[in-house]
Structure 1
Amino acid sequence: MKPYAKQFYKSKAWRQCRDAYFICQHGLCERCGDPGLIVHHKEYITPSNINDLDITLNHDNLDLLCQTCLNQEHHGAKQSVVRDDVMFDERGNLIAK
């Protein structure tokens, strides 16, 4: 967590907003339908917008995501740890397919 955001994410206002949004989404990831885990800001919180309630506490700026979809959001496909051009041999060594 970014140092400038610690106080916000510990605030009662954020916890209430996050919990209400989770309930509105029935606890399901909005991208894949798996159980949701993290209420994520679509427009990332920065030092310049952290006091803007239209960014921080607006349900229109939130997504409920599972861990996989959150990782995809933050790291993208270019850093995926899953490859389809390699496999393990019978001794557990990584080899080309």
Structure 2
Amino acid sequence: MKDYAKKFYKSKEWKKCRDSYFKYKLGICERCGANGDIVHHKNYIHPGNINDPEVTLNWANLEVLCQECHNREHFEKYSWTREGLTFNAAGDLVESGK
């Protein structure tokens, strides 16, 4: 996590927003229908918008993703592993979909 975002992601406001959005979406990945793991910002957070609640806390900018879809979103342009492998939430290399 980037240093500028640490305070935001530890805030009560973010945790309340994240948890309520996750429950509203029933914890289901909005891309593949698997069990969700992460509430993702569609428009990425950066130093220029980290203090804008219309970006950071707006449900229209959020989506629930499973770890695999989140990895694909952030790392698809890189070839970190061979096909069929991914990293889980703990950072361990595992077979995709497991």
Mapped to 1, the partners of 2:58 and 2:82 lie a distance apart of 33
Could you state the TM-score of these two structures normalised by the residue count of structure 2?
0.80
Deviations 1:12-59 (A, max 9, x none): 000000001001110100000100000000000000100111100000
Across the two proteins, how many residue pairs are aligned to each other?
83
Letter in 2 for 1:76: E
1:52 aligns with 2:36: no
Q: Hey, what does 1:94 align to over in structure 2?
A: none
1:20 aligns with 2:20: yes
1:35 aligns with 2:26: no
Mapped to 2, the partners of 1:77 and 1:4 lie a distance apart of 24
Letter in 2 for 1:54: E
CA 1:47–1:78 in 2, change beyond 3 Å: closer, same or farther? closer
Mapped to 1, the partners of 2:74 and 2:53 lie a distance apart of 23
Mapped to 1, the partners of 2:54 and 2:82 lie a distance apart of 35
Mapped to 2, the partners of 1:26 and 1:8 lie a distance apart of 24
Letter in 2 for 1:42: K
Could you state the TM-score of these two structures normalised by the residue count of structure 1?
0.81
SS of structure 2 residue aligned to 1:17: helix
Mapped to 2, the partners of 1:38 and 1:11 lie a distance apart of 16
Deviating runs (4+, > 2 A) in structure 1? Answer: 77-81
Identity %: 57
* TM superposition shift of 1:81: 2.5
Q: Hey, what does 1:65 align to over in structure 2?
A: 65
- Please report the RMSD computed on the Cα atoms of aligned residues, expressed in angstroms: 1.3
Letter in 2 for 1:38: I
Structure 2 residues not aligned, in runs of 5+:
85-98
* TM superposition shift of 1:76: 1.4
